[in-house]
């Protein structure tokens, strides 16, 4: 791999694409050249990178000649079509969609958990689901110490997980309600302002949603833990940015709050914010635009043996997407 790679961002004008550009700049990623690719309707837009304006080009089958690393965040159908083309052109793809996550030939990576899997790529690497990534930042270090058997979790997912239009919808609806106008909805099936929707992604015949099953399926693959079980309810909440997850975990080994806190205190990428006496606990408001996730409310579970409850919050556009993708690219250069 070229030590000063030519990097492309596919889906550069989307919420995650913009965060990818900022993250490459902030982390001083050694980009020799940055190419921004998007659909025809975004062509000609200019985006700032290191004090220069870069013009967005149209994504075509010929876009990848000479590119070393391509960060994809343009949705599953674009990834399915263009990631194999990019890989064939000799480019390494880090894909943010769900298109390749469960493909046996594609490593699914959270660099704090399974960085060694990066080396096994055959041209494509996958970024996990945002809620799964944020949960694993707290769960994996505890798993290494105590051996997780299963979790029960509920998510509190921000609207920016759905995209820029969802942020606009929440803003618009709040204004409509405050000014006593009729509420209009386009993105979500129900009003999201002053409401919560127990509906993220599409429903499966089991009654779970696809998002809810990602925690178990992707968790097993990332942690190399084929018997891991996760029962999850995913909920969309009227928050702009940062997902939070309430987790109850059952472990093989006896666990104490002190031992768990000691493990979390020295885990990379996650900060222990756990001082309820002084009203300190993780919140989306304070984790937004931060690289690290936060974990707190650590306590023994009342209903399970060797059970621990905790609350984790993290910026799903960063650790859940753009930051994780750039960290994977950093691993490629090592």
| Residue numbers annotated as active site | 130, 243
- The Cα 56–Cα 186 span in angstroms is 28
Residue 265: half-sphere exposure toward Cβ, Cα within 13 Å: 7
Angle between helical axes of 257-265 and 130-146 (0-180°, round to 10):
120
Question: Can you tell me the distance from the alpha carbon of 9 to that of 35, in angstroms, rounded to the nearest whole number?
Answer: 6
User: What does residue 108 show for φ and ψ, rounded to 5 degrees?
Assistant: -110, 115
Q: Indicate the Cα dihedral angle 33, 34, 40, 45, nearest 10°.
A: -110
The two three-digit tokens of residue 292, written as one number: 């690290």
Q: Is 197 helix (H, G, I), strand (E, B) or coil?
A: strand
In this structure, are strands 307-314 and 293-300 parallel, antiparallel, or unpaired?
Answer: antiparallel
Which CA distances in Å does 251 have to 135, 232, 293, 307?
16, 17, 22, 6
DSSP letters for 52-65: EEEE-EE--TTTTT
Contacts of 81 (CB under 8 A, 6+ apart): none
Q: Length of the chain in residues, anyone?
A: 334
């Amino acid at each position: 791999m070229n030590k000063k790679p030519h990097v492309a961002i596919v889906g550069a004008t989307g919420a995650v694409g913009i965060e990818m550009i900022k993250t490459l700049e902030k982390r001083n990623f050694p980009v020799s050249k940055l190419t921004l690719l998007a659909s025809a309707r975004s062509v000609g837009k200019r985006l700032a990178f290191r004090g220069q304006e870069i013009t967005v080009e149209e994504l075509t089958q010929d876009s990848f000649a000479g590119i070393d690393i391509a960060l994809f965040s343009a949705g599953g159908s674009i990834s399915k079509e263009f990631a194999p083309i990019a890989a064939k052109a000799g480019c390494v793809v880090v894909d943010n969609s769900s298109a390749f996550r469960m493909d046996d030939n594609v490593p699914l990576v959270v660099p704090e958990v399974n960085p060694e899997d990066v080396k096994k790529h055959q041209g494509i690497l996958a970024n996990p689901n945002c809620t799964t990534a944020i949960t694993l930042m707290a769960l994996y270090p505890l798993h290494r110490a105590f051996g997780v058997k299963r979790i029960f979790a509920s998510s509190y997912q921000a609207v920016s997980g759905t995209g820029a239009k969802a942020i606009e919808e929440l803003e618009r609806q709040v204004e409509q309600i405050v000014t006593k106008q009729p509420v209009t909805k386009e993105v979500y099936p129900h009003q999201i302002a002053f409401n919560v929707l127990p509906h993220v992604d599409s429903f499966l015949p089991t009654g779970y949603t696809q998002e809810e099953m990602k925690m178990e399926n992707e968790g097993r693959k990332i942690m190399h833990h084929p018997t891991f079980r996760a029962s999850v309810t995913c909920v969309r909440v009227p928050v702009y940015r940062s997902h939070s997850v309430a987790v109850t975990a059952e472990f093989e080994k006896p666990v104490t709050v002190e031992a768990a806190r000691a493990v979390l205190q020295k885990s990379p990428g996650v900060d222990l914010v756990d001082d309820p006496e002084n009203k300190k606990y993780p919140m989306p408001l304070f984790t937004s635009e931060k690289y690290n996730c936060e974990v707190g409310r650590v306590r023994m579970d009342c209903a399970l043996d060797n059970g621990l409850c905790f609350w984790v919050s993290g910026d799903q556009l960063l650790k859940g997407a753009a930051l994780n993708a750039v960290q994977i690219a950093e691993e490629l250069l090592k």
